[in-house]
Amino acid sequence: MPPTHARRATFGLFGLNGFLLGMWIVHIPLVKDRTGIDDSTLGGMLLLVGIAALVGMQAGGRLIDRIGSAPTVAVAMTVLALVLPFVALAESPVVLACVLTLLGLANGVVDVAQNAQAVVVERAYGRPIMSAFHALFSMGNLAAAILGGLLISQDVGMLPTLVTAAVVGLVGAAACRRPLLADAAPAPTEGGGRRRVPWTPRVVLLGLLAFALMLSEGVAYDWSTVHLRDSLGSTETVAAWAFGAFSATMTIVRLVADRIVARVGSATYVSVAALVGAVAMLGVVLAPSAPVAIAAWALFGVGLAGCVPQFFSAAGNVDPTAAGTYLARITSFGYTGLLAGPSIIGFLRTWVSLPTALLVPLVGCLAAGLLARRALAGKVPA
């Protein structure tokens, strides 16, 4: 099967994943009302999804190295689609917790498997194409936000909406399965036992940098609007523009980042882009007005957009015969940062102002910019 077909299919997988998750996200307020949970319980439920996803990533990594990323992502995407409608059927916190655990597990497997397939496709192309896949995920989120919001405004029930989304997911997963490429054959092991995949200094560094940058991304998701409203006195409408500007530049830059990486190399790209993110966050911290802050959050999106995909690509190429395991490790580092970032800022807000707390992602971006060349150019033992 030509790699162009596999590339389109992988685009479809990332878009489907973003769409299915987005459909859950836009219905969170309705799910909250249906089950009668308060904000604290909702926070615990969302944390449960994240923890389940981390477990799913580790299981997914082992499955990929055993049976390949193509069958793994197809089955996991099918499970994700099948579980989604049960969110609308949950009437108690206990049932909702069970459904969300399954949702998180399936999404964790999908996340690592689709990135593993993206690495295989990128290797077949012989040039960077990873960032574009992540742009499709963002587009899937956007499509779900627009369609889901429209259906909610028209009083369409949550169950028929999520059932329809599930059908889209099932059909899409089936359609995308056949063109996918086979992974590298696993290396033989002595005695036929499970192969031990070692941790190396380079893998640890890649993971730590992914943690730092996805922590920064999580902070933008959860605190950009709060920053404008609480620190700069903006209205909720104006505050929403900060997140909108960040999301828009993230999506746009991911569509063009691969061409830049092909010209300058991933190490140079991340070194410069992460430092742009640090400068942008300094602009956020020092912003005297809402327009300046919105521009700074937009520039922050420019800096972050194409960085993490380069770490995923590098992880999948440390050892192609153990790509699933290494990708699971790096995505777990990154996803932990995504979950931890907003919480760290919330904790620091007890002691310092929000602009001061936002120095944390600034330091993370600065560290990534200074150390990216060492991690991506292979100057640390692999």
Q: Is there a single domain that holds both residue 172 and residue 284?
A: no
Q: Which residue, 229, 378, 263, 243, is CA-closest to 317? A: 378
Q: Is there a single domain that holds both residue 136 and residue 178?
A: yes
Q: Which of 134, 158, 185 is the last residue of a domain?
A: 185
Q: Is there a single domain that holds both residue 155 and residue 219?
A: no
Q: Which of 185, 217, 240 is the last residue of a domain?
A: 185
Q: Is there a single domain that holds both residue 207 and residue 123?
A: no
Q: Is there a single domain that holds both residue 213 and residue 86?
A: no
Residue 277: strand, helix, or coil: helix
Q: Is there a single domain that holds both residue 71 and residue 217?
A: no
How much is the pLDDT for 339?
A: 83
d(CA 76, CA 52): 14
Give the rounded distance of the alpha carbon of 162 from its chain centre.
22
Is 174 inside a domain boundary?
yes
Q: Is residue 26 packed enough to be buried (19+ CB in 10 Å), middle (13-18) or exposed (0-12)?
A: buried
Q: Is there a single domain that holds both residue 227 and residue 345?
A: yes
Burial 48-83 (b: 16+ CB within 10 A, else e): bbbebbbebbbbbbbbbbeebbbebbbbbbbbbbeb
Q: Which amino acid is at 156?
A: V
Is 325 inside a domain boundary?
yes
Is 190 inside a domain boundary?
no
Q: Is there a single domain that holds both residue 144 and residue 281?
A: no
How much is the pLDDT for 189?
A: 52
Number of domains present in the structure of the chain = 2
Is 196 inside a domain boundary?
no
Q: Which of 143, 161, 185 is the last residue of a domain?
A: 185
Q: Give the domain CATH number at 69.
A: 1.20.1250.20
How much is the pLDDT for 174?
A: 95
Is 111 inside a domain boundary?
yes
Task: Provide the domain limits for residue 362.
Answer: 201-376
d(CA 13, CA 102): 19
Q: Is there a single domain that holds both residue 153 and residue 212?
A: no
Q: Is there a single domain that holds both residue 225 and residue 79?
A: no
Q: Is there a single domain that holds both residue 181 and residue 213?
A: no
pTM over 0.85: no
pLDDT in tens, the chain (382 residues): 568 899 999 999 999 998 998 888 778 878 888 888 876 777 788 788 888 999 999 899 889 888 999 999 999 999 999 999 999 999 899 999 999 999 999 999 999 999 989 989 988 888 888 899 989 988 888 888 788 888 888 888 899 999 999 999 999 999 999 999 887 665 555 555 556 777 888 889 999 999 999 999 988 887 888 888 888 988 877 887 888 888 889 889 999 999 999 999 999 999 999 999 999 999 999 999 999 999 999 999 999 999 999 998 888 888 887 878 888 899 889 988 888 888 888 888 888 998 999 999 999 999 999 999 998 876 555 4
d(CA 61, CA 41): 30
Is 178 inside a domain boundary?
yes
d(CA 190, CA 199): 19
